[in-house]
Amino acid sequence: MKSLSNSGVLSALVLLTLAGLALFPNLAWADQGIPFITVTDGDSSEEYSVKVQILILMTALTFLPAMLMMMTSFTRIIIVLAILRQALGLQQSPPNRILIGIALTMTMLLMKPVWTPIYEDAYKPYEAGEITLQQAFSVAEQPVRQFMLSQTYENSLEQMLRIAGDPLDLEPEEISFAVLMPAFVISELKTAFQIGFMLFIPFLIIDIVVASVLMAMGMMMLSPLIISLPFKLMVFVMVDGWAMTVGSLSASFGGL
């Protein structure tokens, strides 16, 4: 598999955002410009226009954070990391920025099999002038749709189809992004909570054991969290908890 440069990753992210514009299937991709500003100099005036494609592209970039959360593995990763921090009993460590940074880097790594064909098959031909922007959008949509469908539970998808009033027997390529995106996000939340529950169990056992020991010793005024926190940190470090968490998250996506 070819490696992506920083500019390639950015280009793939842009096309990933463009794929989100499938919410508007009837959007017109016109080549003509639209009036932007008119400069008048005496009796003469000159009108400047902006390409519709450029306007659409700049607008699409504003949706990049939303698309990152709703069309990639970012949501599952950040929720699991937040649950893990709570299970350890740590309120501010690691800080939110660190967790977001870990989630972003893992997202870029795990989504590489999705972004690589977007960059190779959509962005590079479009940059070379071999295909139009609309054709690049159509090509970029396919790997994103395939990834989202592979991570979406069938019951979540059926629920969204019922809400949208669409038939339940639609083919995967016939399902609109307006239905697929909420079904994907709900499925990601479900999977993240399942992983978080499994992470919580060992730390909950430590809390129960410590609380039972303190109560048996008559030290009911001492908070069990103060005593259990060092033990939880020690166990987490001894089993290489961060590596196990990252490995479990990567395995939960089925290898992509």
pLDDT band at 89 (very low <50, low <70, confident <90, very high): confident
pLDDT score of 180: 86
Percent of all residues in the chain with a pLDDT value above 90, rounded to a whole number: 7
Helices (H), 165-176: none
**pTM, rounded to two decimals:** 0.74
Question: What's the average model confidence in pLDDT over 69-73?
Answer: 84
Question: What's the average model confidence in pLDDT over 235-253?
Answer: 87
Q: Which amino acid belongs to residue 188?
A: E
171-205: pLDDT as tens digits: 877 788 888 888 999 999 999 999 989 988 888 88
Question: What's the average model confidence in pLDDT over 105-126?
Answer: 84
Backbone dihedral region of 230: left (phi > 0), alpha (psi from -120 to 50 degrees) or beta?
Answer: alpha
Distances (CA, A) of 115 to 4, 53, 118, 206: 9, 22, 5, 42
Question: What's the average model confidence in pLDDT over 132-140?
Answer: 78
pLDDT score of 171: 80
Percent helix, strand, coil in the chain, to 5, is 70, 5, 20
Of residues 198 and 39, more confidence is placed in 198
Percent of all residues in the chain with a pLDDT value above 70, rounded to a whole number: 75
